[in-house]
Chains A and B, each alone.
Chain A
Amino acid sequence: MVSSFAILLLTTHPSELMSDLTRRGLPAQFAYVIISTLQILPQMQAKAQTIIAAQRSRGLDTESTFIKRVSSVVPLVGPLVFGSLVEVEERAIAIEARGFTSQKQKTSLHEISDRTIDKILRWIFTLFVIFSITLNIWLS
């Protein structure tokens, strides 16, 4: 499951995935949360690293015993969470300023091709999934 999700993300252009999902009826807000999380998480990780480095240079212990390491996470949480809350508000304003909540029918920059071969493959894979699940239940 996890690996198939990874394959999906590696082989599909995320923006295309998002446009296609919204075209199929997934609310735009939903699709946005998924895609932006994928992109913003690495940025947040990088920020956490910066905060760790900054705290460590002020003598914070992040490498010895478990208890010490856990307690050393505490000073990390403040800047990261409060920073993120402010960022979330700003980002909400920024995307709203660009019509994100517009009631109009959205359009897409990318044309998503859904050829006959795609449709056939989708059916084959669906059948394959059903088959393997049945097989699994039957064997156990």
Chain B
Amino acid sequence: MAFVNIKNLNYQYPLTKTPALRDINLQINQGEFISIIGANGAGKSTLCYALAGFVPHFFKGEFSGTIEVAGVESNKSTLEEWVLNVGLAFQNPFNQISGAKYSVFEEIAFGLENIGVPREQMKSRVEEAMQLTGISHLADRSPYSLSGGQQQRLALTSILVMQPKLLVLDEPTSQMDPIGTREVFGVIHKLTQNGMTVVMVEHKVEWIANFATRVVALKDGSVLLEGKPNEVLTSDALMESGFGVSRYTSTAREAKKQGLWKKEKLPVTLSEAAEGFNSK
């Protein structure tokens, strides 16, 4: 039995005419790092909300099918219970800061206060989480004084301290500069190496190619493709769907037509492209 099991999931927001998710079936094993891609409006965020329980517990509307995480069904659980198992972080780090706390340390402890963790445990859990994401040195700073990458790592820490079994991340690096992106990916990579199961919406295909164990491409609310990162990211179907594939992939695809790319497999990253063009 898979760790995460999505069966025949359909969902439509209230007052809308078309479904945001259509008949999604997806199994995810423990420790996998799944990357979700797709054009604007494909349903990526909605799928994240569904995994994190906000669909259907927060966003009402028409919901059918089931989502199971670690053997428990989201429909049969309350949002309050569900958020303890599934952590969610998203795009804008600023909006994820509670606004009720004046230091990074307090901000991370906010969730633990909410669920009634005793004070003595709280401190050690916060310290442990900060160490994991490398922000221990920021403990006394104001959350509002941090850089984007630091704020996003704070948001991640605030979720990790809750000790979720599944981590859902909706474009956490989309507002980051290259340094922030590297910081955030560094943390996520470390988490997956520690065995965390991660589902992450991400557009930066080169990062996905290097880190994800599997890629799921959505189109108009349905799963268009699913497979190994290189297979999905270089497929003709993905290019035809209008998704912005890597420039190395499109260059090599053209080169292949003219016999300049000899390999069977197309590249996604710069190093794959360089290696492919150099080989005789």
Binding site for B on A (CB under 8 A): 13-15, 18-19, 28, 32, 35-36, 39-40, 43, 87, 90-109, 111
Contact = CB atoms under 8 A, between A and B. Distances in A.
Contacts of A32: 98, 100
Given A14-B102, A32-B98, A109-B105, 16 more contacts: A15-B101, A39-B100, A90-B92, A90-B95, A91-B95, A93-B58, A93-B90, A98-B111, A99-B83, A99-B162, A101-B80, A106-B113, A107-B122, A108-B113, A109-B112, A109-B113
A5 to B, nearest CB: 18
Q: What are the nearest 3 A-B pairs in CB distance?
A: A98-B111, A36-B99, A99-B114
A95 B122 CA distance: 18
Contacts of A43: 94, 144
A27 to B, nearest CB: 13
B139 interface: no
B87 interface: yes
Contacts of A87: 92, 94-95
B117 interface: yes
A102 B114 contact: yes
A99 B159 contact: no
B3 interface: no
B100 to A, nearest CB: 5
The residue among A39, A90, A99, A111 with the most chain B CB atoms within 10 A of its own CB is: A99
Interface string B101-121: 110011001111111111100
A1 B124 CA distance: 41
A53 B227 CA distance: 47
A107 B112 contact: yes
A32 to B, nearest CB: 5
Contacts of B49: 93
